Each structure stands twice: as structure tokens, then as C-alpha cells.
Amino acid sequence: MASRASTLGIAISPLSRRRIESFKANRRGYWSLRVFLVLFGVSLLAELIANDKPLLVRYRGRWYAPVVRVYAETQFGGFFRTEADYRDPEVVRLIEAEGGRMIWPPIRFSYDTHNKDLPPGVAAPSPPSAENWLGTDDQARDVAARLIYGFRISLLFGLILTALGTVIGVAAGAVQGYFGGWIDLLLQRFIEIWSAVPQLFLLIILASVVQPSFWWLLGLLLLFRWMSLVAVVRAEFLRARNFDYVRAARALGVRDRLIIWRHVLPNAMVATLTFVPFNLTGSVTLLTSLDLLGLGLPPGSPSLGEMLNQGHANPQAPWLGMSAFVTLSVMLALLVFVGEALRDAFDPYKTAA
């Protein structure tokens, strides 16, 4: 097995190895991927970076972790049985009176924390200050905290939507391309009709019937999003099913499912993979624009689109629009650079040499 290259127990074919090398050789794409992964990793830990609860509380010789567990105010000697509001000066006084300590995250606001202690004479939206690094929005919520959470929710939404859409799209394209005939004809006509359904109207109607949650929105967009890849995958399958090695596999008596999985799908995946980063940017932009229109995530959610909307409504507070704009453009630019590098790495004319 010496000649067989493997990494972490996964066999890497020489072709993939060449593609990985080609991807790494594209410095802009490779750096974009690293920066993107760091940003995404950091945003996944948003609760530890921007939160209105301290990371740790030392009280009467015991450690408390309010970020992960809920403690009633009474546990710190307060009156209310509700969860302690650690920003409340009364709670702070109670804890410090017992010689306790609180270790805070760098940003002492969560995405939905209203800053009730704006300096006198400053109205929300308040400009950037030592406390609110990027200012606050029109409800006195910290912009920096909302950006971190908004970045995360946009990306998670985009990733889930793209992943599910890719799985459905590849499956539909594979069935059409491999079997052809009536299945292909019917599915093609269905897609033509289905793609003519106006998504925006459906969303408006939905918004008036139910309060669109994250999953509602995801499901609804998924109904339409899967179609973007079908054409590519179908074409690849139509091409590949006439390859000699697919014919040879049929002559060997291999089952259709296995032929699709082992011989045809890997070919189609190359074309698909190059589209995925662009699909991801599309999904992120879609969510942002729906939020901007007020048709997206429920009110109060940290969303870049909602922040853009606030920036539009409050031209006297440029930090709102600018913050959302810069975050969005950096994220999309990084994804596009990664996508370009990926596309070039999979280009047979560039890697063949």
C-alpha cells in the first residue's frame, strides 16, 4: 500500500491531490479560505465573545457559568426568582458585596441586549464609544454584537440551504440524467413550471399567515433553491452514462445504484462543487435581501439585512449601514475568491498540464 497516498485514513487519488495543490497555489483563494474559516470559527463562538452574561462568576467560593446555565437571582441573594440580570447594578452589587468576581466576555452585550445606560443626552442609535465599539442601533442594541451573531446566522442559513439544496438538486439531476426518457421529460416540465412560481409573493403570503421562523424560511426557500444545480448535474449524467467505463460496469452486471454512486456521481460532483461557493453567496444574499424587505427572519433576530434597513432609515447614523455593508462585502468577497480558486482547481485544462 506504499504507493497509495492517504491523509487521515482517507485515500486521496492523485487527481484530487493535484487539485488540492492547484487550489493552494492560488494564494488569494487559499488565504481567503483561511481568513473565512477563522471568521466563521470565531462567529460560532459568538456567545463567548459578545454576551450580556459573564463567562464565569465567583460567588461565595463557588464558580458559576451563566453562559451555559441559568441561575435565578435568588441564588446570588436577590429577590426575584427569574434569571439574574448581570448587567443590573443591583445584581452586580449583590455579587461584589460577598467578595465575588465576574469575568466578562470582551463585548458585554448580546444581540438582543438593550443598553439602558446610554450616557445622558445620547439617544439611540448612539455613535461608537468605548462601551459600544460600533455604536448602537435604534433600539440601543450593540452593533458589534449584532454583527457577530448576524454573520453567524447568515452563514449557517446559507450553508444549510446550500447543502440541502445541493443534495436534492444532485439527486434530481442524477435521476433525470441517468434514466432519461419519461422520468427526465416529466421532471423537466415540472421544474419549468415550478421555477415560474413567484417566490416573493409566496413569502409575503406566508408572512401574513405564520410568523416566519428560521426553519420555516429555510424550508420555503429550499422548495425553489434546489433547482439551480439540476441542469448541470443532469447534463453531466447524460454525458457520463455513455462513457465506456459506465458501459463496462453495466456489462459487468453492476447495479444501477452502484454505477451512479461509484462511476457517474464523482464526475458530476466536479461540476457541482465549483458551483457550490457561488450558490452559498447567493443564499446569503437572498436571506439578507429578504430581511431588508422585512420578509425574513422574525423581528429581533440578529440579521445583516435588518441592520441595512436601519441604516437606510437612519442616515444620521452611518455606523449602522457601514458596519453591515463592510461585513457583508468582506464575507461575500471571501466566498467568491474561494469559489474562483475552487473552480480553477477543478478546471481540467488547468490541472491537466
Binding site residues, another protein, CB under 8 A: 1, 3-4, 13-15, 243-245, 247-255, 258, 262-263, 266, 353
Phi, psi for residue 60 in degrees, rounded to 5: 50, 45
**Least spacing, CB of residue 112 vs another protein, in Å:** 49
Which strand (E) or helix (H) includes residue 102? strand 101-103
Record the cell numbers describing residue 102, joined without a space: 465576574
**Burial classification of residue 353, based on how many CB atoms lie within 10 Å of its CB (0-12 exposed, 13-18 middle, 19 or more buried):** exposed
How many Å apart are CA 61 and CA 282, to the nearest integer? 52
CB of 338 to another protein, least distance (A): 24
Return the closest-CA partner of residue 312 out of 296, 300, 295, 325.
Answer: 325
Least separation in angstroms between residue 39's CB and another protein is 33
Distances (CA, A) of 229 to 220, 246, 269: 17, 22, 11
CB of 175 to another protein, least distance (A): 17
Nearer to another protein, 117 or 244 (CB): 244
d(CA 144, CA 325): 13
Residue closer to another protein (CB basis): 80 or 243: 243
**What is the Cα–Cα distance from 248 to 251, expressed in whole angstroms?**
5
Q: Residue 23: which H helix or E strand, with range?
A: helix 14-25
- For another protein, give the closer residue by CB, 193 or 252: 252
Residue 264 CB, nearest approach to another protein (Å): 10
CB of 337 to another protein, least distance (A): 26
CB of 267 to another protein, least distance (A): 8
For another protein, give the closer residue by CB, 235 or 295: 235
* Cα–Cα distance for residue pair 206/303, rounded to 1 Å: 19
CA-to-CA distance for 87 and 73, rounded, in angstroms? 12
Nearer Cβ to another protein (246/341): 246
Q: How far is the CB of 182 from another protein (least distance, A)?
A: 12
Our CB check for another protein shows the closer of 114 and 250 to be: 250
Residue 58 to residues 67, 97, 242, Cα–Cα distance (Å): 13, 12, 69
Q: Indicate the residue among 14 and 41 with the shorter CB distance to another protein.
A: 14
Could you tell me the smallest distance in angstroms from the CB atom of residue 170 to another protein? 17
Q: H/E element holding 343?
A: helix 318-346
How many Å apart are CA 295 and CA 284, to the nearest integer? 14
**Nearer CB in complex with another protein: 3/316:** 3
Strand partners, 72: 83
> What is the DSSP pairing of strand 101-103 with strand 56-59?
antiparallel
- Residues β-bridged to residue 59: 62
Residue closer to another protein (CB basis): 14 or 89: 14
